[in-house]
């Protein structure tokens, strides 16, 4: 039996109605049975069971372990865990054990959660399919012949496959939301600075954000509430309190202004995905929301700007892997030769590609033409989103341009793979929160995710719309699949 929803597990453990040990053992059994998915790089069974027993002892003594009491949680393998390897699915960090825990890990422990292992990912979070892992790919639980998305494919597969009820992952350009959509689960990227990045191995520091993956919006909100908040160890952490999301989760959408982003619904988005987006918009309209189209013009340049800014920051962040301080070292006659040999052996092709792209963008004579211009586009994206939010409370768009694709289908052409993130990168550039919610199926019966975006610190209204979509799904009928952009839907229109 796979573990139940996180909120139910925690409530039962806190009430003494079931043991944390049983919940953790169920998860460990499911992980072992689902080993063929390749979701985990490491399973910390012994430590997890010991932690669960300690939680049960606390409950027996009349103590409250916290809002995630006994809930098994998986961590993406770029989140530092003391004494447990944190590899970023790269040979250059294979076997490296951090001497400290990330802030989010401390918060999980304080909330009574139980970490059961580290999940597979695209190397250093660079990819959209989890095919770039040095330790082999992760498979989609809905079809093992297809990718789970990336870079957080291991976390997504763990939740979608029933191995754990919750997982943490990171999102730099869509790495939580896109695999959530492809695996049919909920994945949320918070406002930049809402969740501490202390202990997250950096890819692109101005874009990275840790967020939750879960099977329900309620569970995602629960996990987000635990990890969000100010952290003095993160200089970019936002000091404002998070607040209680219970009201948002229970609220209706009557009068909520919902804008469909036209630039994210055009060429390159499959018809079956647009059909589900249209159905979602119609469902919200039938529930009383005011739904219409909105333009975010600079969003069409988001992918181009992202693939200059992110590799530029990555080329700087990954310079620390030199064979001297930690990780892999390949012996060579001199320091320079050792550095080159280590990085050549330790990094995979995609990581090398992005380091070279970023180094070029930052090089003398090209900095202003490429990186500088990308930063200007980023400002335009922020301005256009700000204008859109003057008219609408939340924005709606596809999460992924297609359902899960087959292994090897996009590896030969990096540009084709990069287009997997075309709908998600804009929220990272703007620093805004966004969430992917499953809303039916598309081609071959595979899941389709609808993305709800909100302004900075707008998690409450984002969760309000997301929870409504989740409630509205059972009675929603898919619109006829068609090419082109989703049409405008007005208040009261049926899906």
For the segment 431-484, what is each residue's pLDDT rounded down to a tens digit? 999 999 999 999 999 999 999 999 999 999 999 999 999 999 964 333 333 223
Q: Is 487 exposed, middle or buried (0-12, 13-18, 19+ CB in 10 A)?
A: middle
- Domain positions in the chain: 6-248
Q: How far apart are CA 78 and CA 60, in angstroms?
A: 35
Q: Please name the residues in contact with 22: beta carbons below 8 A apart, sequence gap of 6 or more.
A: none
For the segment 276-334, what is each residue's pLDDT rounded down to a tens digit? 999 999 999 999 999 999 999 999 999 999 999 999 999 999 999 999 988 999 999 99
For the segment 85-130, what is each residue's pLDDT rounded down to a tens digit? 999 999 999 999 999 999 999 999 999 999 999 999 999 999 999 9
The DSSP symbol for 146 reads B
Q: How far apart are CA 267 and CA 367, in angstroms?
A: 31
Q: How far apart are CA 297 and CA 295, in angstroms?
A: 6
For the segment 410-426, what is each residue's pLDDT rounded down to a tens digit? 999 999 999 999 999 99
Q: How far apart are CA 288 and CA 88, in angstroms?
A: 44
For the segment 40-94, what is each residue's pLDDT rounded down to a tens digit? 999 999 999 999 999 999 999 999 999 999 999 999 999 999 999 999 999 999 9
SS3 assignment, position 289 = coil
245 has pLDDT over 70: yes
Q: Please name the residues in contact with 47: beta carbons below 8 A apart, sequence gap of 6 or more.
A: 84, 115
The DSSP symbol for 299 reads G
What is the reported pLDDT for 3?
57
Report the predicted TM-score, pTM, of the whole model to 2 decimal places: 0.94
Q: How far apart are CA 98 and CA 301, in angstroms?
A: 38
The candidate with the shortest Cα–Cα distance to 423, out of 446, 444, 395, is 395
What is the reported pLDDT for 479?
33
Positions annotated as catalytic residues are: 76, 151, 175
CATH architecture of 6-248: Alpha-Beta Complex (3.90)
Q: Is 192 exposed, middle or buried (0-12, 13-18, 19+ CB in 10 A)?
A: buried
Question: By the 8 A CB rule, do 275 and 479 touch?
Answer: yes
Q: How far apart are CA 51 and CA 198, in angstroms?
A: 23
Average pLDDT, the chain: 94
Looking at 3-145, list the stretches that DSSP marks H as alpha helix, in order from N- to C-terminal side: 6-14, 20-33, 45-60, 103-110
What is the reported pLDDT for 4?
61
Confidence band, pLDDT 50/70/90 cuts, at residue 231: very high
What is the reported pLDDT for 86?
98
Q: How far apart are CA 330 and CA 435, in angstroms?
A: 42
What are the start-end ranges of the E strands in 342-446?
394-398, 434-441
The DSSP symbol for 72 reads E
What are the structure tokens assigned to 459, written together?
């998690």
For the segment 369-386, what is each residue's pLDDT rounded down to a tens digit? 999 999 999 999 999 999
The candidate with the shortest Cα–Cα distance to 361, out of 347, 379, 338, 377, is 377
What are the start-end ranges of the E strands in 352-483?
394-398, 434-441, 447-453
* 140: β partners: 143
């Amino acid at each position: 039996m796979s573990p139940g929803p996180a909120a139910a597990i925690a409530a039962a453990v806190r009430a003494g109605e079931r043991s944390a040990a049983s919940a953790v053992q169920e998860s460990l059994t499911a992980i072992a049975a689902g080993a063929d998915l390749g979701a985990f790089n490491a399973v910390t069974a012994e430590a997890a069971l010991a932690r669960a027993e300690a939680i049960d002892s606390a409950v027996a003594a009349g103590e409250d372990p916290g809002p995630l009491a006994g809930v098994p949680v998986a961590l993406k393998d770029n989140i530092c865990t003391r004494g447990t390897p944190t590899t970023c699915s790269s040979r250059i960090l294979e076997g490296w054990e951090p001497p400290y825990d990330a802030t989010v890990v401390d918060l999980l422990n304080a909330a009574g959660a139980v970490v059961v292992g580290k999940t597979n990912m695209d190397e250093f979070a660079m990819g959209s399919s989890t095919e770039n892992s040095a330790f082999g790919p992760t498979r989609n639980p809905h079809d093992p012949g297809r990718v789970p998305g990336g870079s957080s494919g291991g976390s997504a597969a763990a939740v979608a496959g029933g191995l754990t009820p919750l997982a943490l992952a990171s999102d730099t350009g869509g790495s939580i939301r896109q695999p959530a959509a492809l695996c049919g689960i909920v994945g949320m990227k918070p406002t930049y600075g809402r969740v501490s990045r202390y202990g997250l191995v950096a890819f692109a520091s101005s874009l990275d954000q840790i967020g939750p993956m879960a099977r329900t919006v309620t569970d995602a909100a629960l996990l987000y509430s635990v990890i969000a908040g100010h952290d003095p160890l993160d200089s970019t952490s936002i000091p404002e309190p998070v607040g209680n999301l219970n009201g948002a989760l229970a609220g209706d959408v009557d009068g909520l202004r919902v804008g469909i982003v036209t630039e994210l619904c055009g060429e390159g988005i499959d018809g079956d995905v647009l059909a589900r987006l249209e159905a979602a918009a119609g469902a919200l309209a039938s529930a009383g929301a005011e739904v219409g189209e909105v333009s975010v013009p600079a969003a069409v340049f988001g992918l181009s700007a992202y693939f200059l800014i992110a590799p530029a920051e990555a080329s700087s962040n990954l310079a620390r892997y030199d064979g001297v301080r930690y990780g892999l070292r390949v012996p060579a006659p001199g320091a320079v030769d050792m550095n080159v040999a280590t990085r050549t052996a330790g990094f995979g092709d995609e990581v090398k590609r992005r380091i070279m792209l970023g180094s070029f963008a930052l090089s003398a004579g090209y900095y202003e033409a490429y990186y500088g211009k990308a930063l200007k586009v980023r400002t335009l994206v922020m301005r256009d989103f700000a204008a859109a939010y003057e008219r609408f409370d939340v924005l709606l768009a596809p999460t992924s341009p297609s359902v899960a694709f087959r292994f090897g289908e996009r590896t030969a052409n990096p540009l084709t793979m990069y287009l997997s993130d075309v709908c998600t990168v804009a929220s990272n550039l703007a620093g805004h929160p966004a969430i992917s919610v499953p809303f039916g199926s598309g081609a071959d019966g595979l899941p389709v995710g609808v993305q709800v975006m909100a302004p900075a610190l707008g998690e409450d209204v984002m969760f309000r719309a997301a929870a409504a979509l989740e409630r509205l799904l059972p009675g929603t009928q898919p619109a006829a699949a068609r090419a082109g952009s989703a049409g405008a839907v007005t208040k009261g229109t049926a899906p």
